[in-house]
Amino acid sequence: MQVQAVPSWDLFLAIFFVVSIGYSFVLQRDKVVVTLLAIYAGIVMAQVLGAPLQQFFQGDKTIGDQLFIKANASPFTVSAGIFLLTTVLVSVRSGMGRGGSTKGSLTLFELAIFSFLNSALILTAVFSFMDPAARDQFAATSKIARIFINREAWWFIAPLIALIATGGLGKSRSD
Any idea where the domains of the chain sit in the sequence? Answer: 9-166
pTM of structure: 0.75
Choose among 71, 43, 51: nearest CA to 127: 43
Q: Are 143 and 11 in contact (CB under 8 A)?
A: no
The DSSP symbol for 107 reads P
Q: pLDDT tens digits for the chain (175 residues)?
A: 555 555 678 888 888 888 888 887 777 666 887 888 889 999 999 988 888 888 877 776 666 666 666 677 788 888 899 999 988 888 877 666 555 544 456 788 888 888 899 999 999 999 999 999 999 998 898 999 999 999 999 999 998 888 888 775 555 444 4
